[in-house]
Amino acid sequence: MKVRHIAIDGVASSGKTTVGKILSKKLNYEFIDSGLFYRFATYRVIELNKDPLLGMAKLSKDKYKEALSGISIDFKDGKLYVDGLEFPLHLLRQQMVDELVSPVSEDASIRESITSILRNIASNKNVVMVGRDIGSVVLKDAFLKVFLTATLEERAKRRFKELIANGVETTFSKVYENLKLRDMVDSSRSIAPLIVPKDAYVIDTTDKTVEEVIELILTFMKAKEYALQHSKNNI
């Protein structure tokens, strides 16, 4: 049987991860959070740029190529594995990673490596993959493409609540500005920018519960199945 891919893209903190995780459980598909791969590359770039005496030195683009070379990365059951070992995800949610992940994600060689890893992981299984360029680049032939949006104010509220719950010291305005900047950089980069794929269903999650968003996606899936069946019957 042909494997099925569901691509969920959208702006930062629009609910992709929460929705993607629950949806994948309901469907018994594998869940893949592509953002964690870009966060991991950023973490590596930061580590490679650290001056042993001065701490963090100026970010050098020379280190971008090194960031993922000779390393194997995998994602299974919500966990990221680097060279076979589970990587602590809280390190990828640090403010410094939040601030640098969009510029690092603009790099062509980093995007190329991560796109190929993601395609490899999804090649022989049913997956729900979330990110920014999944429906437009990584899984262009996905069975279903969804794009999530929400107002910046609502997204900043969600992200701020999540960070505070995780014990991160921050302010609402810092979170708001970071999301605004990331959306801007992600949408305007020349390679694989954040766009709404032309065949995607767009859902504004501002006033919707997670359950409502999932119900909508399942309805879109049924509509797709029906259209597919119908077109087969007409051949």
Binding residues for ligand C5P, rule CB under 6 A, total 14
Asked if residue 135 binds ligand C5P (CB under 6 A), the reply is: no
Q: Residues 159-170, buried b or exposed e (16+ Cβ, 10 A)?
A: bbeebeeeeeee
Q: Contact at 8 Å (CB) between 57 and 51?
A: yes
Farthest-apart Cα atoms in the chain, separation: 70
For residue 120, how many other CB atoms are within 10 A of its CB? 10
Q: Sign of the CA dihedral 174, 176, 23, 193?
A: negative
Q: Which of 14, 31, 133, 163 binds ligand C5P (CB under 6 A)?
A: 133
State the minimum distance, in angstroms, from the CB of residue 134 to ligand C5P.
Answer: 6
Q: Which of 8, 23, 29, 38 binds ligand C5P (CB under 6 A)?
A: 38
**Of residues 39, 2, 36, 42, the one with CA closest to residue 16:** 36
State the minimum distance, in angstroms, from the CB of residue 118 to ligand C5P.
Answer: 8
Return the bridge partners of 209, or none: none
For residue 102, how many other CB atoms are within 10 A of its CB? 23
Nearer to ligand C5P, 120 or 229 (CB): 120
State the minimum distance, in angstroms, from the CB of residue 52 to ligand C5P.
Answer: 28
Which part of the chain contacts ligand C5P (CB under 6 A), choosing from 31-39, 62-70, 120-128, 210-218? 31-39
* Residues 159-218, interacting with ligand C5P (CB under 6 A): 182, 186
The encoded tokens of residue 13 equal: 């903190």
Q: Contact at 8 Å (CB) between 42 and 141?
A: no
Residue window 112-131: x/- pattern of binding to ligand C5P, with contact defined by CB under 6 A: -------------------x
Asked if residue 102 binds ligand C5P (CB under 6 A), the reply is: yes
> Contact positions toward ligand C5P, by CB under 6 A?
12, 34-35, 38-39, 101-102, 105, 131-134, 182, 186
